[in-house]
Structure 1
């Protein structure tokens, strides 16, 4: 991967960092971009080159188009989309992987866990940089393993496919997402983990969202709830609660207020029994349920939207929640604010979402739609709104 060594890139990074509102320190930029502080310092001083991948995560953290930082003014945010064919190729050979090395099982566990951490942190460029090779390696390990050793590898495949799916779905590659979900459904039963099977049912809902088949999606989730394990241990409680959260959201999209209320109530009851955490790759707990309450209100629309504003009036998601989930809260809130005539508040919420998880925010279709609406409503407004709309490719 080429490294840009031109010192002007570092000066541009320092400039955009200094004009952020609020201004970012080098440490804050390093934390937001998941880059070492020393690396940021050297880049800004022109003492170190910067790869395209690093430049992109820095640009995301600053909320600017990567082209604004490059000397050559290259094309905007194409790295994730350009990597999708490699993901597609990796899963095309899931049953006939090419020969090659396989790392020890513990190393594979570490790699899969790292990808899952990137997913909940909305670090999609990091995922696409490693997942194609990891998926191929896992498939190779799975098919080479004796029958009695395949269950553990099947579980790793499910988790890795889920991280890849997060990128595909967020990038709008719904056909690729659907293929990854079918592979999850293929591998999950062999893993023999009921909580993992429930998590796949949770993710499968994406295909119904993409097709706008909300009633069918609700039916599929309720079938998954019927077959889910009894909620006894923390993992099974969280798995069942996550299914109820998801069912509430898709019921809201189906404008079924009664079903949405029922599933939210069930999710709240289960959330009170476990601490807020990430279980089988899904954040679950009281705060996550509250975020989903906002999503349900926005999905139901009309006179339900006010409920989203009520929740947000005296509550904000904790910093301990995964970045992707926190940014989703502000994206949903922005839509509720826009619909109720609070355009300035909506823009502020979108900016908060971008600050929390820039890659997730930029890829979210609602952000593009709402930024375009705000731009039309506030034609004579500041350059900040115009820059935001250009950053997320709003039209």
Structure 2
């Protein structure tokens, strides 16, 4: 069944419901990272752990997202989208429950690794389902909506986590994760359709995935925008990793005030994603990337320059724009990447996610090692990946545009 045939079978209302549930599934990673950032100190004291050991729980989660997606991609190409999605959501929910009962940091960190593997199911399946159902700019718009709805996670998670921490302690944060997991599991079972026909499924998932992965890795139209998407997302994870130390440590905010500032900065993702959807009515994703990446580099450079400023407002203003640009650029980079992997959406989505979170793990670890005595490590964690992304895009632009099925303005008579 072609994407167009599948879309004819799904009403607009059902399509919106599917996108909403996919967005809920995709907030598992920000929910599982952002919501407990303000509780890291409490967690360290409760488990008699050092700040470095509790910080490792964040980096290991990113690592789990990386390897989990590489496992999930072949599975959803062989067994369809629904069954692996439901199993992954169940794993996330069960490990969230197990985290309530641990009393040692090593066990906690190991469970976080498995929690991440479960969390990645929604991310991989979401991109694959959108790739199954949409083509060209509609895919970019759908991914934009997905990214916008995903921002509910980083907007509400820090504030919700701070409120739960103050009222009920750090374990209540994981109770909230359990409840979200249960809701997502029920909604996925009721709403998400199977979008991969049996005729298109791989007989030997990992052997087929290996063959497809080798092809995609050597395809400039796939690997270059995938790396760009990962580098852009790396800036977001630099912010996630460093923000608690910067705003609570350097600027002296309380847990609740930090959660509110984090939410205000994350709101930029919503606004810039809406802007991106307007731009997609007039420009291709490639064109938006070509203009947006230099802007992203410039604003992250300003963030580095003002890192020595004692003013929280002077530092936050360019940071707000930089995080907004992450939302604008990410959807377009992912759309270009997934368009090049049309015939292998599962492994393409897995490779894209694996690349994103491998880079996130690297950026996050570097920011953590840089310390939180100054905003500079976090700011450099934005600027350096942004610079590499911009250079890679423009050095690979001809290959990207030549191999992507998303048509250029010229080919559409612009």
TM over 0.5: no
Q: Which structure has the larger Rg over C-alpha atoms? A: 1
Higher helix share: 2
